[in-house]
Structure 1
Amino acid sequence: MQNEQLQEILNEYGIREPEITFIRHNENRTYKVEDHDGSTYLLRIHQPVKDGMAGQQHTYDGLLGELQMLEHLSGRDQLLVQRPLRNREGKLITIIEHEGKRWNSSMLTWLEGRDLQKDDLSDPVMVEKLGASISELHQFYGQYVQEGLDKRPSQGIAYNQYMIGVIKQGLTKELFTFSDVSVIEETISLVNARLKDRRNEEAWGLIHGDLSLGNIIRTRDGELSFIDFGFFGPGYYYTDVAMGVMMVPSELRDLFLKGYYGNDHAGQDELVLLEGFMLLAIIGYYVFQMENESVHAWMRERMPKLCADYCKPYLSGERIFYSV
């Protein structure tokens, strides 16, 4: 996308003669915008690099739900997040035309810092802080009420079932074997059965839905900030907790649980479900990347290990919480 087109968008926010730096094109096109007054912003063109990556989060109503949530969350002192900007018409979304199509775009304030790194999580203090930060996010979600959240991606039992169908597509692409696909289907079905067997109303709410090292910023003063809420929406809190757990070294995972739950053990039933959601998070990555041929070789190589080392032990009743 040419700078002239980007400048047309920035004009809607009263930004003149900025320095624009392309960041990447994955789920969205993203640019760093440095204004002449010293302010810095993130410009997002909500056009995924692959058509198969498009989802509810790219629609106008879906994106609006994310931005409205961020506007509310950015007003809280407990968590530092990017604040969305409103254009000169007072709207959170600016519609543009590019390559003969209409796309949604949005502007966020810039967060100074760097991606969270594995070495950061060798520090017990940082591990407990990560758990506590996710807990704080969920506390906010527990009282957040907004219309239109049904337009956001939802990660529940129905989505888990949908993932089975996508994984089966890997057979026609010759990515996976029948036996491994069968193991994945059995694993997802077991997690769904356990969710149906238990009362999980308190575990269901709004979630970030895509926590990873790259979606957490460590600020200069050592605080943690969540970014990229593209998969924000209804889901089980276990999803975020499981994704957080997998970032943390095995020997410090009890500290993570202490940060999140307030104690160092979630209870046996909770751990079993968390293990299942750890596997769902990994399977979810395969599902999201199914149309991305650049990672097909990796998927083809790693799927047998996922099934043999983690899914099969989980299905047989072994504990995998400290090994995934």
Structure 2
Amino acid sequence: MRTEQLQEILNKYDIPEPEIVFIRHNENRTYKVKGHDGNTYLLRIHQPVKEGMVGQQHTYEGLLGELQMLEHLSGRNQLLVQRPVRNREGELITIIEYEGKRWNSSVLTWLEGRDLQKDDLSDPVLVEKLGARIAELHKFYSQYEREGLDKRPSQGIAYNQYMIEVIKQGLAKDLFTSSDVSIIEQTISLVNVRLEDSENDDTWGLIHGDLSMGNIILTSDGELSFIDFGFFGPGYNYTDVAMGAMIVPSEHRDIFLKGYYGSDHTGQEKLDMLEGFMLLAIIGYYVFQMENESVHAWMRERMPKLCADFCTPYLSGGRIFYSV
């Protein structure tokens, strides 16, 4: 987008003489904005780089659900998150026209810090803190009641079934073999069966839905903060816990679980579930990137390893929690 168009959007906000720096264009167009008063913001144009990435989170109602949640969450002291900024009309969303289409845009406060890195997680204290922060987020979600959350992306059994159908499309694209697709289908189906048989209803609620290292900020004083709530919505707590466990070194995963559950003893059923959700997280990346040709070569190369090294042992009852 041209600077003039971006300036036109920011004119609707109380940001004096904004300086705009492009960050990236992936799920959204994102820009760092610094006002003349020294305050810094994040401008998001909710237009994905690929049409196939458009989801409920890009709709007006879906985006409003995310921003309303962040507004409530940012008012709490327990967790540090970006706060949505309302425009001069008091709205959380500013609608723009670009390339003949209408897109939603939003502004958040800037969060100083850097992306969490693998070396950071060699520190067991930080690993336990990560588990505790996810638990605090889930505690907030368990008490958060708001209409319209049905407009947000949902990651439940139906979504798992949808992932099977998308992975099957990889056959026509010559990305995967029929054998690997069959293994993926069996893997997802086993997770769904276990979910249907589970009696732990308290594991279903609201989740972040995309806890990668790039979505976790480490501040200068050692605090952890979550960003990019694009996939926030209904789902199983296991999703966030499994994603958190995956970025932690295998030798520290018990420490991470202690941070989240408050106990070293998670039990066989929880480990079985977490292993399944680790695999769902990996498969979910393939699903999300199915229309992105730039990663097709990587997907084609990595799928056989995923199936052989992790899915097949999981289907055979082997423990993979400490190796994924």
Q: Following the alignment from structure 1 to structure 2, what is the Cα–Cα distance between the partners of residues 301 and 50?
A: 22
* Residues 131-163 of structure 1: CA deviation (Å, up to 9, x unaligned): 000000000000000010000000000000000
Cα RMSD for the two superposed structures: 0.5
Q: How is 1:9-48 mapped onto 2 (pairs within 5 angstroms)?
A: 9-48=9-48
Identify the residue that residue 245 of structure 2 maps to in structure 1: 245
Q: Distance in 1 between matches of 2:54 and 2:280?
A: 20
Residue 263 of structure 2 is matched in structure 1 by 263
Q: Within 5 Å, which residues of 2 pair with 1:146-157?
A: 146-157=146-157
Q: How does the TM-score come out when normalised to structure 1?
A: 0.99
Displacement, 1:70? Answer: 0.1
Q: What 5-or-longer segments of structure 2 have no aligned partner?
A: none
Q: What residue number does 1:101 align with? A: 101
Give the residue type in structure 2 aligned to 1:27.
E
Q: Is 1:219 equivalent to 2:225 in the alignment?
A: no
What's 1:305 paired with? 305
Number of residue pairs the alignment of both structures matches: 324
Aligned-partner Cα distance in 1 for 2:198–2:296: 36
1:277 match: secondary structure = helix
The question of 1:178 aligning with 2:156 is answered no
Alignment correspondent of 1:124: 124
Q: 1:27·1:53 contact (CA, 8 Å) conserved in 2?
A: yes
Asked if 1:295 is matched to 2:302, the reply is no
CA contact (8 A) 1:73 1:79 kept: yes
Checking the alignment, whether the CA contact within 8 Å between 2:86 and 2:92 is kept in structure 1 is yes
Q: Are the equivalent residues in 1 in contact too, given 2:16–2:37 (CA < 8 A)?
A: no
- Aligned AA (1:201): D
C-alpha distance in structure 1 between counterparts of 2:16 and 2:139, whole Å = 39
Aligned-partner SS, 1:179: helix
Show structure 1 runs of 5+ residues with no match: none
8 A contact 1:205–1:234 mirrored in 2? yes
Q: Does the 8 Å contact 1:113/1:218 carry over to 2?
A: yes
Distance in 1 between residues matched to 2:11 and 2:200, nearest whole Å: 47
Tell me which amino acid in the other structure corresponds to 1:144.
Y
Q: Deviations over 1:259-304 (max 9, x none)?
A: 0000123111110000000000000000000000000000000000
* Residues 10 and 16, structure 1, Cα contact 8 Å, conserved in 2: no
Q: Distance in 2 between matches of 1:2 and 1:265?
A: 55
CA displacement 1:186-208 (0-9 Å, x = unmatched) = 00000000000112310000000
AA matched with 1:170: G
| Cα displacement string for residues 45-82 of structure 1 (whole angstroms, at most 9, x for unaligned residues) | 00000000000000000000000000000000000000
TM-score, structure 2 as length reference: 0.99
Alignment partners' CA distance in 2, 1:211 and 1:236: 13
| 1:33–1:43 Cα contact (<8 Å) kept | yes
- Residue 155 of structure 1: SS of its match in structure 2? coil
The structural deviation recorded for 1:16 is: 3.3
Q: What's the % identity of the aligned pairs? A: 83
Contact 1:256 1:264 in 2 (8 A): no
Matched residue type, 2:96: I
The equivalences for 1:123-202 within 5 A come to 123-202=123-202
